[in-house]
Amino acid sequence: MAVEELQSIIKRCQILEEQDFKEEDFGLFQLAGQRCIDEGHIEQLLEIIQNEKNRVIIKNMGWNLVGSVVRCLLWNKEDEKRKYYLLMLDLLVKLCNPKELLLGLLELIEEPSGKQISQIILLLLQPLQTVIQKLHNNKAYSVGLALSTLWSQLSLLPVPYSKEQIQTDEYGLCQCCKALIEFTKPFVEEVINDKENSVESENEKLKDELLKFCFKSLKCPLLTAQFFEQSKEAGDDPLRCFASEIIGFLSAIGHPFPKMIFNHGRKKKTWDYLEFEEEEDKQLADSMASLAYLVFVQGISIDQLPMVLSPSYLLQFNMGHIEVFLQRTEESIFSKGVDLLENGLLRIEDNSLLHHYLEIKSFLTVPQGLVKVMTLCPIETLRKKSLAMLQLYINKLDSQGKYTLFRCLLNTSNHSGVEAFIIQNIKNQIDVSLKKTQNNKWFTGPQLISLLDLVLFLPEGAETDLLQNSDRIMASLNLLRYLVIKDNEKDNQTGLWTELGKIENNFLKPLHTGLNMSKAHYEAEIKNSQENSQVVQKSKDLCSVTVGGEEIPNMPPEMQLKVLHSALFTFDLIESVLARVEELIEIKTKSTPEENIGIK
């Protein structure tokens, strides 16, 4: 019945001119064709499509059947009639109006979600490529529209993270990336081959569309993609192969990556098109950072870089990209910033990175970004690596650079552990300076005193939360202890003895008062907790304790007592070091120059 109905519609249309086809003819053809497919009359439908007499009708109306054929191919993967569906799709692609077919195929690609996204893309990439190659007018627009649609759908797929996920490729992203490269190659080759022969404006437009696609791909999936280690396995890494091809496309269409990455961020840009210049800054920044990582860390096409570039220049150029990575919260992305920083720092000798570089914004924001990773990242290995990179960064700076960075981080980190780390580094630099025959002005005398003003004080005086700031306080006391031992009052190389009165008033005396207050408070809380625990043991309930105006989360009484005793132990430790510092000060101020006090 469905076949007869379709033949009737075709017979009526055969006597009409192409321009006389009506909208209702298209609708009736589509409904009848759909019924033929639903009822399984595939071979009869194929005969109708292949009939030379129906060529004009199929050219104008056949594209309406593509959706039904594609859905059958997706739903009936084991169907014995699958070969007929594939043949029908192939015929429709060859015979139908390419402009209508292009829009129809892109609509089909936009429809699915989840795992079906990759299935339909893999099915339709070849037909889509064939259709676009048949279009001679506005080909650049068609290529751009297709690549944008494909990229938008692929960006919805989760990027595999581990080696196992990449090999399993559950959502088909890796397969799609490989197929997308094959889809794009003919258009890249067209740009290369037609540089002299084609209409220049159309060729440039096609280049522009390909350039946009490459940069979108650098952002997704390559910004978050993880790669196998550079070994024999690297060749089997589909995402690495995709990255290599994308970078190759850039060079092939006249945009080699050295030219792009070295000009990115300059006031005077070198892109060929204003339209691309007006791309979203963030998207372009993410793409450029991804490109820098692929080249410098993964080593893709790194042989294209000029060999004359100095390590400090490469670091300067990469710092902006590292900053972009570290601003992100996704572990798979900001970890690349840490790796890129390591790559740049390892090329530089210790103490050779000039302080002038810190006038560039990213040279201060990058270490601040490392601090955020160190303090907020839930993954221990990344926290430790960020700490190691911050230390490596400090080691590369010259003395004035170290001094400037220390001041910056002491003012901005707002984290006791980080401040303790910086104070320990200050102590190390003072030690190096005192051992040299010629003192380093940045870690002795007036410059050092200015730095010590940020270290030897309590932010809120005696009211400072000593427990929360215990790491910083202990590091400050140890630094002061070291200074008292190493610098004699007569020599006063560090300027400590001149400023001793200020240090006592701003640091030591408030610390004494704060310790007395804190210990009294916690001892009272321990007494209350012990009394409450007797009541709680009878009811077997949890209890709560308020410390410093904040309530400790509900926990068993014995656990709360452990927490409170631990706090008291910290106060006792601080108090013992404080007592030793004051003892040393007293000895030094009363001793003769011949007396020698050793570090204990």
Q: Give yes or no for residue 388 having a pLDDT over 90.
A: yes
Which of 74, 186, 187, 80 lies closest to 122 in space, CA to CA? 74
β 543-547/550-555 pair status: antiparallel
pLDDT band at 198; cut points 50, 70, 90: low
Report the SS3 class of residue 353. Answer: strand
User: What H or E segment, with its residue span, contains residue 128?
Assistant: helix 116-134
The whole-angstrom separation of Cα 217 and Cα 237 is 16
Tokens 């099915």 -> residue: 123
DSSP H helical ranges for 271-415: 274-277, 281-296, 311-326, 331-345, 362-376, 380-396, 399-412
Return the percent helix, strand and coil in the chain, to nearest 5.
70, 0, 25
Look at residue 130 in the predicted model and tell me its pLDDT: 96
Q: Give the whole-number percent of the chain exceeding pLDDT 90.
A: 59
Q: Which helix (H) or strand (E) holds 479?
A: helix 470-486
Q: What length is written for the chain?
A: 600
Choose among 135, 209, 134, 122: nearest CA to 174: 122
Torsion of CA 502, 575, 465, 415, to 10 degrees: 80
225-251, pLDDT tens digit by residue?
999 776 555 568 999 999 999 999 999
Range in 34-48, 439-453, 496-510 with the lowest mean pLDDT: 34-48
pLDDT, residue 591, reads 64
Task: Tally the C-alpha atoms within 13 A of residue 105's C-alpha that lie toward its C-beta.
Answer: 29
pLDDT at 422: 98
Whole-angstrom distance, CA of residue 599 vs CA of residue 484: 10
- Three-class secondary structure of residue 310 per DSSP: coil
pLDDT digits (tens, 9 = 90+) for 82-137: 888 899 999 999 999 999 999 999 999 999 999 999 999 999 999 999 999 999 88
Cα(112)–Cα(129) distance, integer angstroms:
20
Cis before 367 (ω within 30): no
Got the DSSP string for 525-555? Answer: HHHHHHHHHHHHHHHT--EEEEETTEEEEEE
Task: Give the amino acid at 570.
Answer: T
pLDDT of residue 278: 47
* Residue 255 confidence (pLDDT) above 50: yes
Beta partners for residue 550, in sequence order = 547
How far apart are the C-alpha atoms of 257 and 250, rounded to whole Å? 7
Q: What is the pLDDT of residue 148?
A: 96
Query: Amino acid identity of 320?
Result: G
Give the pLDDT score at 400: 96
Confidence of residue 600 (pLDDT cuts 50, 70, 90): very low
Angle between helices 311-326 and 281-296 (to 10 degrees): 130
3-state secondary structure of 397: strand
- pLDDT on residue 267: 42
Residue 162: Cβ within 10 Å count: 9
d(CA 121, CA 176): 7
Residue 390 CB-density burial (10 A; 0-12 exposed, 13-18 middle, 19+ buried): buried
CB 179 within 8 A of CB 122: yes
Band (269; pLDDT cuts 50, 70, 90): very low
Give Cα 172 distance to the centre of its chain: 22
Give the Cβ contact number of residue 70 at 10 Å.
Answer: 22
551-599 tens-digit pLDDT: 556 667 677 777 788 888 999 999 999 999 999 999 988 864 544 444 4
Per the CB < 8 A criterion, the answer to whether 315 and 345 are in contact is yes
Q: In this model, does residue 386 exceed pLDDT 60?
A: yes
Burial group, residue 136, by CB count within 10 angstroms (0-12, 13-18, 19+): exposed
* Structure tokens that stand for 530 in this block: 């012990």
Domain boundaries, the chain: 1-96, 112-260+277-294, 447-532+555-587
- At a CB cut-off of 8 Å and minimum separation 6, what does 429 contact? 399, 402, 403, 440, 442, 443
Return d(Cα 417, Cα 507) in angstroms, integer.
Answer: 19
Straight-line distance from the first to the last Cα atom of the chain, in angstroms, rounded to the nearest whole number:
102
Task: State the pLDDT at residue 45.
Answer: 85
Distance CA 47, CA 335 (A): 59
For the chain, the average pLDDT equals 86
Bridge-partner residues for 545, per DSSP? 552
Mean pLDDT of 48-65: 83
Confidence of residue 13 (pLDDT cuts 50, 70, 90): low
**What is the amino acid identity at position 358?**
L
